[in-house]
Amino acid sequence: MYLVFRSLIRTFAGNCILAYIMEPIKEQILVRITGQDRPGLTAGIMGILAKYDAQILDIGQADIHSTLSLGILIRMDEMKSGLAMKELLFKATELGVNIGFSPISDNEYEDWVSHQGKNRYILMVLGRQLEARQIEAATRILAEQGLNIDSIVRLTGRKSIKTTTSTRACIQFSLRGEPTDRQEMQRRLMRLSQEMEIDFSFQRDDMFRRMRRLICFDMDSTLIQTECIDELAERNGVGDEVRAITESAMRGEIDFRESFTRRVALLKGLDVSVMQEIAEHLPITEGVDRLMSVLKTCGYKIAILSGGFTFFGEYLQHRYGIDYMYANELEIGEDGKLTGRYVGEIVDGHRKAELLKLIAQVEKVNLAQTIAVGDGANDLPMISEAGLGIAFHAKPRVVANAKQSINTIGLDGVLYFLGFKDSYLGEQGKL
């Protein structure tokens, strides 16, 4: 019995040693292919790799004006790799493309793997048109902050050089790393925005960026290109007085509540029919029609949170099918004229932030999935509270305190900050 057992042990040990000796050695090879793109190219390459049992560790492709750049990182038996590369060379000649091979050591590959899970960010660069000097300035800031660009994608459609139909350009940079000083980087990008007529959005690339669900807009000077209280004041012959109070509030001499109360008092006696006439001729901001159409089609919940008036907010709500609308209500007397008073609680900056959080709670939306867009100081609380806060053609103080701003194009620029591409939008994007 002992002899049989010893024989079995020897046999098992021998098999283990044989298996170790005969186990094929694996190696990693980076395959780079460049040239004119054509249908079936990737399938042809993969057919050869499949024949030699190659494992695909990574793959990426870019196609610019039908010029292909394809990278494939493979792992395979080194006894087969020579034959595989030989066939790939013949295939590349047949397809009319260039091919190159680079060995990747185990340590190099493991170092690459260790970078998985590192912080990633997205930088959107937006403008009427983009020039090399603007891209150079932006990417220099990224480099000085230690951020590496992994990919660059154009979100807007190609611009014609024969017509002027395209009035916007947006490029998305996918970044890896952590900024050395994010606040300083943000300040420099905002300064660059003003100097070079270009807009930026710098966001962490996480699941919330890809799953925004609720967007809240200011109304006056955001959705519409006017301040309704100024329009009403002009009709009532008190335009100069109202503007003086507004300027005093902007200088910080009086708060929003006091300025609002004093301005509303000056509207006393104005006939409500004037409000209807103003509502029917509101100057809608560039890009609003396109933006609202896309947001509704894609299932976003939309809110107006305004320090303006409900009369005009309700008009926009009905026009665009907006889900929520909160603004200030003017009191109307039995004679159909404004009494110079308001009804209910004033919607100021603090109230806007509260409403954003309340609507998010009702809709069961994480605050990180919310967006707020506005132009004035009373929009700063909700812009700061939202997952993505955007200053739109805003006052200097607002731009200085917001992380994202749009100053060069219309309100539909928000779509690019949400990651939409023109090619995704189809007919919706042509509005």
Contacts (Cβ under 8 Å, ≥6 apart) of 208: 366, 368, 369, 387
Catalytically annotated residue among 53, 77, 181, 220: 220
Side chain identity, residue 405: S
Q: How far is Cα 335 from Cα 386, in angstroms, rounded to an integer?
A: 42
Residue 213 tokens, joined: 């669900």
User: How many Cα atoms are found within 13 Å in the side-chain-facing hemisphere of 182?
Assistant: 11
Instruction: Check if the beta carbon of residue 330 is closer than 8 Å to that of residue 343.
Output: yes
Q: How far is Cα 425 from Cα 419, in angstroms, rounded to an integer?
A: 11
* Residue 379 annotated as catalytic: no
Catalytically annotated residue among 37, 218, 412, 422: 218
* Residue 150 annotated as catalytic: no
For the sheet with 148-154, list strands across it.
148-154, 169-176, 120-127, 199-204
Instruction: Check if the beta carbon of residue 290 is closer than 8 Å to that of residue 307.
Output: no
For the sheet with 388-392, list strands across it.
338-343, 324-332, 301-309, 214-217, 370-374, 388-392, 404-406
Helix (H) or strand (E) holding 309: strand 301-309
Antiparallel, parallel or unpaired: β 214-217 and 370-374:
parallel
Contacts (Cβ under 8 Å, ≥6 apart) of 413: 126, 168, 170, 199, 287, 406
Active site (catalytic) residues: 218, 220
